Amino acid sequence: MIGPASLPARQRRVWVALGAAAMAAIAVVLDPAPAALANADSGARAAFAALTSAAIVALSMRLLAIVPRQASRPKISLTLGVTALVLGVASFALGGYAQRACTARYGEKEMIIGTELTTLGATYKKTNPELSNDELLFDAAGAPERLWTAGSIGRCRTFVASSYFLWIPFLVVCLLAGVQAILPATILAPTRSGAAPPRPVDATLHYDAFISYRHHEIDTAIARQLVDTLEADGYRLAIDERDFLANASFLNEMERCIRESRFTVAVISSRYLESGNTEEEAIISKVLDMADRRRRLIPLVVEPVSMPVWLYGIVGIDLNKRDPLVDPIDKLKSTLGTPLAAGGQDR
């Protein structure tokens, strides 16, 4: 079966983004908020912080997925990583500044104060310029609204609540971007650098690929998943159980789909090559001569087999390799090129 490593690139990027966003949200919830914010709205504040953190990571992962795929250069990921690192350090410093400027200690308790003094506060501060914020709050008997305006206290509360956690999502983005910069072929943004140059479009082509497979439980499941995987990325596939006309000959429909497809993807298994089951071989050999087979036939080997003579000289794509240098499904998409629906061309 096609494993997790063979999921469509789009689905893998979504799962990576969701996982990173969830990780950032959980880290923010677990990170203790400043003591001055301890009050009844702590739950709402934690939810806001978690959602904001997740949104920052998700948007950054979206950028990380799109830009490298277009530029195919690790330096884009490195730039994003450095930017996230700078923003993370700046956020950490900003959170520290917010807590120093907007909080004061009254006894054993941290409290939110303001940055603008009331008339009474300004007069008292002018008379006692040497007093710190802690001392001013002490003289106000722990009631900050006596010396600071309600508006500035509210702004300070918002400032502290929205800045103390921001370094966490930027750290997550920095780490993931760093991985992508070092390993540009990871699941974060699979590359398509191996695509062949385009060729003119044949007006008779209706499909990007025809899926040839053995009618067996395992092979059928692989073929269906392959169709779902490729069609999710915009390719148009032909498969017998859906695209063959109900009142036509099976072999005639197979020949038609091969002729109307840019490629034929053969799901190669021991069952596909069983003695006596030669319809696929006969039709493919009839429609495609050896030169055309090497250009338009893609053997997708799903289990170890000895390749027959009629597939001799065709490299194919092996799904059985452990830790392949290039993801097999990405290699298949690279071979197929741009989908016909998006202006793709025959090879």
Q: What is the per-residue pLDDT for 39?
A: 67
- Each domain of the chain, given as residue ranges in start order, spans 4-182, 207-342
Each residue's pLDDT tens digit, 124-147: 999 999 999 999 999 999 999 999
Terminal alpha carbon distance of the chain = 29
| Backbone phi and psi for residue 208, each to the nearest 5 degrees, phi listed first | -75, -35
Q: In the CATH scheme, what is the homologous superfamily, with its name and number, of domain 207-342? A: Toll/interleukin-1 receptor homology (TIR) domain (3.40.50.10140)
Helix (H) or strand (E) holding 297: strand 297-301
3-state SS of the chain: helix, strand, coil percent to 5?
A: 55, 10, 35
Tally of CB atoms within 10 A around 253: 17
Q: What is the per-residue pLDDT for 278?
A: 59
Each residue's pLDDT tens digit, 109-120: 899 999 999 999
- The candidate with the shortest Cα–Cα distance to 336, out of 347, 325, 321, is 347
- Tracing tokens 């992962």 back to the chain, one arrives at 61
99-108, 157-166, 173-182, range with the lowest pLDDT: 173-182
Alpha-carbon span 25 to 35, nearest angstrom: 20
Each residue's pLDDT tens digit, 228-267: 999 999 999 999 999 999 888 888 998 999 999 999 999 9
Alpha-carbon span 50 to 27, nearest angstrom: 8
**Spatial contact of 94 and 102, defined as CB atoms under 8 Å apart:** no
Following DSSP, what letter does each residue of 253-272 receive, concatenated? HHHHHHHTEEEEEEEE-TTT
Q: Which amino acid is at 44?
A: A
Query: Which residues are within 8 A (CB) of 329 and not within 5 positions of it... i.e. 6 or more apart?
Result: 2, 6, 7, 8, 9, 229
